Structure 1
Amino acid sequence: MPEIEEVLPKYLQISGYIRDLIHRGELAPGAEVPSERELAASWKVARPTAAKALNTLRQQGLVESRRGSGTYVTDTRAPARMRESRRYGARYAEHESVTIVSAEIVAGPEEVTAALDLPHGAPVIARKRLVTTDSGIAEISTSWFPGEFATAAQLLLVTRRIPGGVAEYVERTTGAEVAYARERVGARLASAQERRLLGVARPAAVLVYHLTLHAADHTALQFDELVYPSGHWTFQQEYSLRA
């Protein structure tokens, strides 16, 4: 077991160590994670510190607790569509056409600045894309970044696709490395702009997918919002139900 370092809080060092085991495959999906008591003993910390480390991993979606059983590694494999194209913003399906309609610095909306942990109204970079299929516009996608990234990552403000993908470009130019992602999926009524772009009548329900990319120190590097109209299959996943 590594020695505790003083650079990061102890609970972050513990959660980071376990996260690395998961990412390397040494703790596979379904594997049991050491308990609070075991972590406290092996790392020589108090139980609340061990509990906070496990809670950090839960918030990152890497582990889940089962009542009366323990804590286990979750299956963090993304649905096929997300795994192949969305997670790092690099690729789309062959039948999809992508148009970047705007790339600019704007005052950050409340939801965006909250996701990026910035003051309300702080400058952010917004890259908006339309994804079109044979049946019409299938997706409105917006990627948001801290405004300070504009100095090093100037291509974020250009309305053309970035070779290798946006997230990889941000890592390369800013030196910030993506460590984990947080995903949320929900539904709401389309805004006036979304109805216009999607060509749907009012009111119209849309599926909304949020993806936030974080560095190891929990700094938010990128916040994506993907909006889908009804009638379009968006996610696909195939998995075994056998033990």
Structure 2
Amino acid sequence: MSENEQKKPGYAEIASHFRKLIADGTLAPGDEMPSMRDVCEQFGVAITTANRAFRILKEEGLTVVRPGRTTLVADQPRAVSTAAARLKRIARTGRPYGHKETSINHTAQLRSLVDPILASHLNVELHDEVVLRTRTFVANGKRTVFAVSAIHVRALGQVPELLSPEPFDRFWQEIYTARTKRPVTKSPERRSARLAYDYELEALGVDVEPGTPVPVLVLVNAFSDENGPLEVWEDVYAPGLWQVDTE
């Protein structure tokens, strides 16, 4: 292969391309997928490669084939993006929400941190004061994720807007980096399961008697700059949902 000859993408790369478009909402449920001929022309590949990529998307439940062999984006009422996937979508598109998604019940306040896991990730002592920001994500009219951000108080010196409950028009860490010139890095996403707290079930609209044990999936993302831990982002998923990443 010459230096000027561009390597053609494989079927996995083509599937990943359309997987991201579906996750971003660029291709929404019910939308028609490009024809095989268009995919072959777009990526410069053979029909067998395009067909294999589409078969992967169908096996993953992302697309369905209708009579006449038309391929449509499938409805996925129980699929919710992971926090890491959400951040990737924001970086790619600038859009904070996916298809038919929004967030409600935003709060922001200085609080004593009582969660030992968050305190450990943020490298502070239990009951130290931190900025706590919460919100509940809603997709297709259903509450899906209760998100808590515990942010080190040193960030307030550069981004005092953190104490306003209003959502930012971009990821707040971008503002922090622009003002401090300090890049922020993210640790690998951590996943675990535990029993939900009553206030989390209330935020997610799960109607059970107080104290009822309800297992939930929890995803934790930690962020740091050169001065140490800066933010811990914990997502608690409503029962019965499954998580989707776009990698």
2:84–2:189 contact (8 Å) kept in structure 1:
no
Q: Percent same amino acid among aligned pairs?
A: 25
**Deviations 1:129-185 (Å, cap 9, x if unpaired)?**
111122411110111111232232111111111122122122233443213423201
For 1:123, the equivalent position in structure 2 comes to: 129
For 2:171, the equivalent position in structure 1 comes to: 165
Pick from 108, 112, 126 the counterpart of residue 113 of structure 2: 108
Q: How far apart, CA to CA, are the structure 2 residues paired with 1:230 and 1:82?
A: 22
For 1:215, the equivalent position in structure 2 comes to: 225
1:80–1:236 contact (8 Å) kept in structure 2:
yes
Name the amino acid aligned to 1:207. Answer: L
Q: How far apart, CA to CA, are the structure 1 residues paired with 2:223 and 2:84?
A: 17
TM-score, structure 1 normalization: 0.58
Q: Work out whether 1:94 is the aligned partner of 2:103.
A: no
Q: Work out whether 1:136 is the aligned partner of 2:146.
A: no
Q: How far apart, CA to CA, are the structure 2 residues paired with 1:164 and 1:203?
A: 36
For 1:176, the equivalent position in structure 2 comes to: 182
Helix, strand or coil for the counterpart of 2:187?
A: strand
Name the amino acid aligned to 1:194. Answer: E
2:84–2:221 contact (8 Å) kept in structure 1:
no
TM-score, structure 2 normalization: 0.57
Q: How far apart, CA to CA, are the structure 2 residues paired with 1:81 and 1:214?
A: 18
**For the structure 1 residues 199 and 113, does the alpha-carbon distance in structure 2 shift closer, same or farther, using more than 3 Å as the test?**
same
**Count of equivalent residues:** 159
1:1-243 paired onto structure 2 within 5 Å: 80-85=85-90, 91-109=96-114, 110-200=116-206, 201=208, 202-216=212-226, 219-237=228-246
1:100–1:160 contact (8 Å) kept in structure 2:
no
Q: Give the gaps of 5 or more residues in structure 2.
A: 1-82
Greater RCO, CA 8 A, separation 6+:
2
Name the amino acid aligned to 2:106. Answer: V
| Deviation, structure 1 residue 195 | 1.4
